[in-house]
Amino acid sequence: MIDQIGNYKILDEIGSGGMAVVYKGVQESLGRTVAIKALRSSVCKEDDAVARFEREAGSLASFQHENIITVYDFFPEGGSLFIVMEYVEGIDLYDLREKCDRLPADIVGIISLQVARALDYAHFRGLIHRDVKPANIILSKLGTVKLMDFGIAQVEESDLTRAGVGLGTPAYMSPEQIVGKRLDQRSDMFSLGIVMYQMVTGQKPFEEDDQRSTMEKIRGYTPPAPRTVNPAVPRELEEIINRCMEKDPQQRFGSTQELVITLEQFLAAHVNLNYRARLMLFLKEQGMISEDEVKAVLHPAMIGGVVGNVPSLRVKPRLVLYLGGLAVAAALAVVALILVLVLEVRRVRSIKPPEPVRVTVREEIATGGLRVVAVPWARVEVDGKERGTTPMDRPLTLPVGKHRVRLLNPYFKTEQRKVSIKKGKTLDLTVALKRAARGEGEAAKDEGGAKDEGTERDEGETKDEGTERDEGEAPGGEDTGAEEEADQ
């Protein structure tokens, strides 16, 4: 243990690894608490280790983002190298998961959103993290999530990917990172998907066994769906995790910004409290923050249990007796109802059933199919009734004839189409939504917009690229064509 490093007084050692030691210190000139990461003198002789250490300092030096650790200083001294960083008092995600196996879905969403924002900021500047894992994600006692350790970060345009193929943590690598392909932001997205999967299920999606290694499983094994392992996971969150963990990068989110927007939409529907306050209350529940620390930051109403303007109930003894009486009365009422139902069933059984009435079934209503694809996604209304949200796992079944289709997305302009359904045919309707101007919402319309790829005109008009096929018939059959009228 040393007492002084440069202009910084050392208070304690807070972490240690094979390459570096992390100290808690004080910059006495400013009275500021800092974290000092020191490269071990034995490692300083290794050029690769020194290059990684310098890369981490250089990568973070220009970053100013609330979800990324800030670097204050970098200097050599006494045969070693030192990075002086922002000191974050809290717990990393690795240690948090040791204390609580599975995290609540809203907490998973809050943590993932802040990590995604940090990655989006780095990706915007052309930097790929390449080592997103729980140990590199720290939760502060103020409810902020920080992403750290950019030691193996790589410039997106770099051709040195293969030289660093061995860098990273195998359990959190993307398939393309394992085989040494050129990486982009979607590689970090895959790693974050693994972290999210682990948070909601309590287990890693890819673990080594007697038959296959972790890397082999990442490349060719599909883990159980999160809801299979933990039924409490909301379906929307499961879809986000599954899309992040697609083997093919083209099937993942198109950008980290798109992932950020999707997580924001999920949280808007499931969390009606300030995200940092919700995270602080969760850490308090886990015994990682004291009540005094919470009181120093949060409003008393939140500490008392007010969540989303709904006060928590404080049960009194009289209320307990009253509720107990109601429960007994309710139980007696249920028993009486059951007896009445039993007697009624016996009475009905004693009545001779009437002669069956023969009903002649006329011809069934002719139907066809409509497969809707909306980019990026949309709620689908057919003839004024909501029929689901894209992507859909199967075509909609509609009566033969003309129908009005509306595609709604709060961040894009509403699209309207008239489609004509034919018996036994499946019509493909593909629409690329256009970004709505600020404030337009679902009511925005794109009058006169370009027609999508799923249109079909009346006989005699030129047909476009939309396809219509028999139900069950493979694409490319002889019976093609689709009909759709653009809504004016």
CB contact at 8 A, 20 and 39 = yes
Closest alpha carbon to 150 in 123, 177, 132: 132
| pLDDT of 352 | 66
What is the assigned CATH class of domain 4-86?
A: alpha beta
Q: For residue range 296-311, what is the model confidence (pLDDT) as tens digits?
A: 888 776 665 544 443 3
Q: For residue range 250-276, what is the model confidence (pLDDT) as tens digits?
A: 999 999 999 999 999 999 999 988 999
Q: Best-predicted range by mean pLDDT among 152-161, 188-197, 204-213? A: 188-197
Instruction: Compute CA distances 396 → 368, 382, 403, whole Å.
Output: 8, 10, 12
What's the predicted TM-score (pTM) here? 0.60
Asked whether the predicted pLDDT for residue 455 surpasses 70, the reply is no
Which residues are known catalytic residues? Answer: 131
Q: For residue range 166-191, what is the model confidence (pLDDT) as tens digits?
A: 467 889 999 999 998 888 999 999 99
Instruction: Compute CA distances 340 → 271, 333, 347, whole Å.
Output: 44, 11, 11
| pLDDT of 353 | 65
Among 277-291, 403-417, 447-461, whose mean pLDDT is lowest?
447-461
Q: How confident is the model at residue 328 (pLDDT cuts 50, 70, 90)?
A: confident
Closest alpha carbon to 143 in 310, 13, 273: 273
Answer with the residue of higher pLDDT: 401 or 459.
401
Locate the domains of the chain by residue range: 4-86, 90-303, 367-486
Look at strands 367-375 and 396-399 and give their pairing.
antiparallel
Asked whether the predicted pLDDT for residue 451 surpasses 80, the reply is no
| pLDDT of 420 | 93
Domain 90-303 has CATH 3.40.50.920: no
Q: How confident is the model at residue 153 (pLDDT cuts 50, 70, 90)?
A: low
| pLDDT of 487 | 40
Q: Best-predicted range by mean pLDDT among 36-40, 201-205, 294-298, 321-325? A: 201-205
Read off the pLDDT of each residue in 394-421 and give the average, rounded to a whole number.
Answer: 91
- Phi and psi at residue 422, to the nearest 5°: -110, 150
